[in-house]
């Protein structure tokens, strides 16, 4: 149960970019004797709630770990269901994007995805490109190590291979170079690891792990996470006030 209220937040210290590892759909369903498919449907509902909550709090960028490069190891039935569910959801939520001025972008490798899903991702990115509200990154077929490899290859293919690669140059070739690094990374479901999500970008992110399963996440839980973030001192390798 949430203990935070919106008015208790410092509106001058809202994290600009929040990343979320949305974990726990399957366990949520299993505990209720429901199918994993139902858990994923409820997970999509939680994602929509959270986008709206983040928009209302003034968060500018939100990255959602939607499908990882490792998720292909799941059963063919579950992978197929997820691909169809994401494609359908992207298409039917355009009114929600327009009403909340949500710009949808994508990170990850589109190539292995089903043609229908590739089309829906490209269409929603194009149709929302002019919206000036929260920017939502759907990380689909995304892996942090894969992103770094693809970024280096982009740098090489741009004819830069004759000079040394530095951190700034690599950063400019990431999937979303215009996104700031996450201030806060949240993982639901009780696990305490990054699972290959934004591993370059999260070098100095504040990490928050919660036992709440993703389908139960929403406005109150996001407020609690932001309040926790505001109670921390970010040092970025330097010395804080209490050091």
* Series of mean pLDDT values for 10-residue runs along the chain (243 residues): 62 96 97 97 97 97 98 97 96 94 98 97 97 97 98 86 83 96 98 98 97 97 97 73 53
DSSP notation for 73-85: GS-HHHHHHHHHH
**Is 15-230 assigned to CATH 3.40.1180.10?**
yes
Helix axes 76-92, 115-127, angle to 10 degrees: 30
Q: What local confidence, expressed as pLDDT, does residue 164 receive?
A: 82
Question: At 78, phi and psi to the nearest 5?
Answer: -70, -40
Integer CA distances (angstroms), 208 to 41, 45, 66, 211, in order: 24, 22, 18, 10
Query: Locate tokens 């972008």: which residue?
Result: 105
Q: What local confidence, expressed as pLDDT, does residue 241 receive?
A: 52
Q: How many helices (H) and strands (E) does the chain have?
A: 8, 6
Question: At 186, phi and psi to the nearest 5?
Answer: -110, 135
Instruction: List the one residue out of 34, 151, 128 whose CA is nearest residue 120.
Output: 128
The rounded distance, in Å, linking the Cα atoms of 48 and 90 is 11
Q: What local confidence, expressed as pLDDT, does residue 161 receive?
A: 59
Q: What local confidence, expressed as pLDDT, does residue 242 receive?
A: 55
Instruction: List the one residue out of 230, 243, 219 whose CA is nearest residue 2.
Output: 219
Q: What local confidence, expressed as pLDDT, does residue 1 receive?
A: 40
Please say whether the beta carbons of 116 and 89 come within 8 A: no
Any idea which residues carry the catalytic annotation? 23, 71
Q: What local confidence, expressed as pLDDT, does residue 7 receive?
A: 56
Structural element, H or E, at residue 142: strand 135-142
């Amino acid at each position: 149960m949430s203990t935070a209220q919106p008015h208790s937040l410092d509106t001058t210290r809202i994290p600009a970019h929040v990343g979320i590892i949305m974990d726990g759909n399957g366990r949520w369903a299993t505990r209720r004797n429901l199918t994993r498919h139902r858990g994923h449907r409820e997970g999509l509902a939680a994602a929509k709630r959270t986008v709206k909550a983040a928009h209302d709090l003034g968060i500018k960028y939100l990255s959602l770990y939607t499908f990882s490069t490792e998720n292909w190891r799941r059963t063919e039935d579950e992978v197929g269901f997820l691909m169809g569910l994401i494609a359908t959801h992207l298409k039917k939520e355009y009114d929600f994007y327009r009403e909340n001025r949500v710009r949808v972008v994508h990170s990850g490798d589109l190539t292995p995805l089903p043609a229908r899903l590739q089309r829906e991702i490209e269409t929603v990115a194009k149709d929302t490109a002019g919206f000036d509200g929260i920017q939502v990154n759907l990380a689909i077929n995304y892996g942090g190590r894969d992103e770094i490899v693809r970024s280096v290859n982009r740098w090489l293919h741009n004819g830069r291979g004759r000079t040394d690669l530095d951190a700034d140059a690599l950063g400019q070739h990431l999937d979303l170079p215009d996104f700031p690094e996450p201030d806060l990374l949240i993982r639901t479901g009780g696990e305490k690891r990054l699972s290959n999500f934004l591993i370059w970008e999260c070098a100095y992110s504040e990490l928050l792990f919660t036992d709440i399963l993703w389908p139960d996440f929403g406005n109150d839980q996001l407020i609690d996470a932001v309040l926790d973030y505001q109670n921390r001192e970010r040092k970025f390798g330097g010395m804080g006030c209490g050091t």
